[in-house]
Amino acid sequence: MKNVVLCGFMGCGKSTIGRIMAKRADLTFVDMDRYIEEKEGMTVSEIFEKFGEARFRELETEACRELSEQENLVIASGGGTLTFQQNIDILKSSGKIVFVDVSYENLCERLKRDTRRPLLQVENRNETIARLLEERLPVYRRAASVIVNGNFNSGVVANNILGILR
Protein backbone atom coordinates (compact mmCIF):
# COMPACT_ATOMS: atom_id res chain seq x y z
CA MET A 1 0.00 0.00 0.00
CA LYS A 2 1.31 3.43 -0.89
CA ASN A 3 -0.37 6.12 1.21
CA VAL A 4 -2.93 6.44 3.97
CA VAL A 5 -5.42 9.29 3.60
CA LEU A 6 -7.32 10.43 6.67
CA CYS A 7 -10.66 12.02 5.95
CA GLY A 8 -13.40 13.45 8.11
CA PHE A 9 -15.02 16.64 9.28
CA MET A 10 -13.07 19.74 10.39
CA GLY A 11 -11.88 19.18 13.94
CA CYS A 12 -12.07 15.38 13.84
CA GLY A 13 -8.35 15.18 14.60
CA LYS A 14 -6.95 14.16 11.20
CA SER A 15 -3.73 16.15 11.59
CA THR A 16 -2.93 15.14 15.17
CA ILE A 17 -3.77 11.49 14.49
CA GLY A 18 -1.83 11.50 11.21
CA ARG A 19 1.26 12.94 12.85
CA ILE A 20 1.20 10.24 15.54
CA MET A 21 0.62 7.46 12.98
CA ALA A 22 3.50 8.66 10.81
CA LYS A 23 5.87 8.74 13.77
CA ARG A 24 4.87 5.28 14.99
CA ALA A 25 4.92 3.64 11.57
CA ASP A 26 7.93 5.51 10.20
CA LEU A 27 5.97 7.23 7.44
CA THR A 28 5.95 10.86 6.29
CA PHE A 29 3.11 13.08 7.46
CA VAL A 30 1.57 15.66 5.12
CA ASP A 31 -1.21 18.03 6.10
CA MET A 32 -2.93 18.98 2.87
CA ASP A 33 -3.96 22.47 4.03
CA ARG A 34 -0.41 23.25 5.16
CA TYR A 35 0.95 21.81 1.89
CA ILE A 36 -1.28 24.21 -0.09
CA GLU A 37 -0.40 27.12 2.18
CA GLU A 38 3.32 26.55 1.69
CA LYS A 39 2.98 26.23 -2.07
CA GLU A 40 0.84 29.36 -2.39
CA GLY A 41 2.62 31.41 0.27
CA MET A 42 -0.65 32.31 1.99
CA THR A 43 -3.05 30.84 4.49
CA VAL A 44 -6.22 28.95 3.58
CA SER A 45 -8.22 31.90 4.95
CA GLU A 46 -6.32 34.30 2.69
CA ILE A 47 -6.92 32.07 -0.36
CA PHE A 48 -10.67 31.99 0.42
CA GLU A 49 -10.71 35.76 0.96
CA LYS A 50 -8.69 36.79 -2.09
CA PHE A 51 -9.70 34.16 -4.66
CA GLY A 52 -12.80 32.45 -3.28
CA GLU A 53 -13.58 28.88 -2.27
CA ALA A 54 -13.64 27.63 -5.89
CA ARG A 55 -9.97 28.52 -6.31
CA PHE A 56 -9.11 26.76 -3.06
CA ARG A 57 -10.87 23.64 -4.37
CA GLU A 58 -8.74 23.73 -7.54
CA LEU A 59 -5.59 23.96 -5.45
CA GLU A 60 -6.84 21.08 -3.34
CA THR A 61 -7.30 18.85 -6.39
CA GLU A 62 -3.83 19.83 -7.59
CA ALA A 63 -2.46 18.82 -4.17
CA CYS A 64 -4.30 15.46 -4.37
CA ARG A 65 -2.65 14.79 -7.74
CA GLU A 66 0.83 15.73 -6.55
CA LEU A 67 0.67 13.82 -3.29
CA SER A 68 -0.77 10.71 -4.92
CA GLU A 69 2.41 10.43 -6.94
CA GLN A 70 4.39 9.94 -3.74
CA GLU A 71 4.59 6.93 -1.44
CA ASN A 72 4.68 6.15 2.27
CA LEU A 73 2.70 9.22 3.25
CA VAL A 74 0.07 9.71 5.90
CA ILE A 75 -2.06 12.50 4.41
CA ALA A 76 -4.50 14.54 6.47
CA SER A 77 -6.99 15.74 3.86
CA GLY A 78 -9.14 18.83 4.38
CA GLY A 79 -12.70 18.38 5.59
CA GLY A 80 -14.03 19.20 2.13
CA THR A 81 -11.47 17.31 0.02
CA LEU A 82 -13.32 14.02 -0.22
CA THR A 83 -16.62 15.70 -1.07
CA PHE A 84 -15.40 15.86 -4.68
CA GLN A 85 -15.50 12.63 -6.68
CA GLN A 86 -12.37 13.44 -8.67
CA ASN A 87 -10.39 13.81 -5.44
CA ILE A 88 -11.74 10.48 -4.19
CA ASP A 89 -10.66 8.83 -7.44
CA ILE A 90 -7.18 10.35 -7.31
CA LEU A 91 -6.55 9.55 -3.65
CA LYS A 92 -8.02 6.05 -3.86
CA SER A 93 -5.63 5.20 -6.64
CA SER A 94 -2.74 6.08 -4.35
CA GLY A 95 -3.73 4.39 -1.10
CA LYS A 96 -6.30 3.66 1.56
CA ILE A 97 -8.88 6.19 2.71
CA VAL A 98 -9.72 6.15 6.41
CA PHE A 99 -12.71 8.06 7.78
CA VAL A 100 -12.29 9.40 11.32
CA ASP A 101 -15.85 9.51 12.62
CA VAL A 102 -16.49 11.99 15.47
CA SER A 103 -19.90 12.84 16.95
CA TYR A 104 -21.63 16.15 16.28
CA GLU A 105 -21.39 17.07 19.99
CA ASN A 106 -17.63 16.48 20.14
CA LEU A 107 -17.06 18.37 16.88
CA CYS A 108 -18.97 21.41 18.20
CA GLU A 109 -16.92 21.31 21.39
CA ARG A 110 -13.60 20.98 19.56
CA LEU A 111 -14.45 23.72 17.05
CA LYS A 112 -16.06 26.24 19.37
CA ARG A 113 -13.05 28.56 19.56
CA ASP A 114 -11.83 28.10 15.97
CA THR A 115 -10.67 31.22 14.13
CA ARG A 116 -8.79 29.54 11.30
CA ARG A 117 -11.49 27.84 9.23
CA PRO A 118 -13.30 30.23 6.85
CA LEU A 119 -16.46 28.08 6.64
CA LEU A 120 -16.96 28.33 10.40
CA GLN A 121 -16.59 32.09 10.82
CA VAL A 122 -20.37 32.48 10.93
CA GLU A 123 -22.85 33.47 13.63
CA ASN A 124 -24.61 30.13 13.88
CA ARG A 125 -21.56 27.88 13.93
CA ASN A 126 -23.22 24.78 15.37
CA GLU A 127 -26.03 24.96 12.81
CA THR A 128 -23.45 25.19 10.04
CA ILE A 129 -21.63 22.17 11.48
CA ALA A 130 -24.92 20.24 11.62
CA ARG A 131 -25.82 21.10 8.02
CA LEU A 132 -22.40 20.31 6.56
CA LEU A 133 -22.11 17.14 8.61
CA GLU A 134 -25.45 15.87 7.35
CA GLU A 135 -24.33 16.48 3.75
CA ARG A 136 -20.88 15.05 4.19
CA LEU A 137 -21.29 12.00 6.43
CA PRO A 138 -22.64 9.74 3.67
CA VAL A 139 -19.91 10.99 1.36
CA TYR A 140 -17.10 10.21 3.82
CA ARG A 141 -18.62 6.80 4.50
CA ARG A 142 -18.78 5.97 0.81
CA ALA A 143 -15.27 7.21 0.05
CA ALA A 144 -13.52 5.34 2.86
CA SER A 145 -12.56 1.70 2.99
CA VAL A 146 -11.88 1.95 6.74
CA ILE A 147 -14.04 3.78 9.30
CA VAL A 148 -12.76 4.40 12.83
CA ASN A 149 -14.41 5.85 15.91
CA GLY A 150 -12.65 9.19 16.45
CA ASN A 151 -14.28 9.97 19.81
CA PHE A 152 -11.18 8.90 21.76
CA ASN A 153 -7.86 10.59 22.32
CA SER A 154 -5.66 10.88 19.24
CA GLY A 155 -3.06 8.32 20.35
CA VAL A 156 -5.71 5.65 20.78
CA VAL A 157 -7.31 6.44 17.42
CA ALA A 158 -3.89 6.40 15.70
CA ASN A 159 -3.11 2.96 17.18
CA ASN A 160 -6.52 1.64 16.19
CA ILE A 161 -5.98 2.72 12.58
CA LEU A 162 -2.47 1.25 12.44
CA GLY A 163 -3.81 -2.00 13.90
CA ILE A 164 -6.53 -2.23 11.25
CA LEU A 165 -4.14 -1.44 8.41
CA ARG A 166 -1.51 -3.99 9.46
For the CB of residue 154, give the shortest distance to ligand S3P in the complex, in Å: 14
Regarding 104 and contact with ligand S3P (CB under 6 A), the answer is: no
Q: Which residues, numbered 43-72, are part of the site for ligand S3P (CB under 6 A)?
A: 44
Of residues 138, 157, 139, the one with CA closest to residue 148: 157
Q: Which helix (H) or strand (E) holds 26?
A: none
For the CB of residue 126, give the shortest distance to ligand S3P in the complex, in Å: 15
Query: 13, 79, 95, 150: which one contacts ligand S3P (CB under 6 A)?
Result: 79
CA distance 142 to 121: 28
CA distance 40 to 24: 30
Tell me, residue by residue from 22 to 41, as one string, x for binding to ligand S3P by CB under 6 A and - for no binding: -----------x--------
Regarding 97 and contact with ligand S3P (CB under 6 A), the answer is: no
Task: Please give the size of the binding site for ligand S3P, defined by CB under 6 A.
Answer: 9
Query: 19, 65, 92, 117: which one contacts ligand S3P (CB under 6 A)?
Result: 117
Neighbours of 39 (CB within 10 A): 12
Query: What phi and psi values does residue 73 have, to the nearest 5 degrees?
Result: -105, 145
- 63 SS3 class: helix
In the complex, the residues that contact ligand S3P under the rule CB under 6 A are 10, 33, 44, 78-80, 117-119
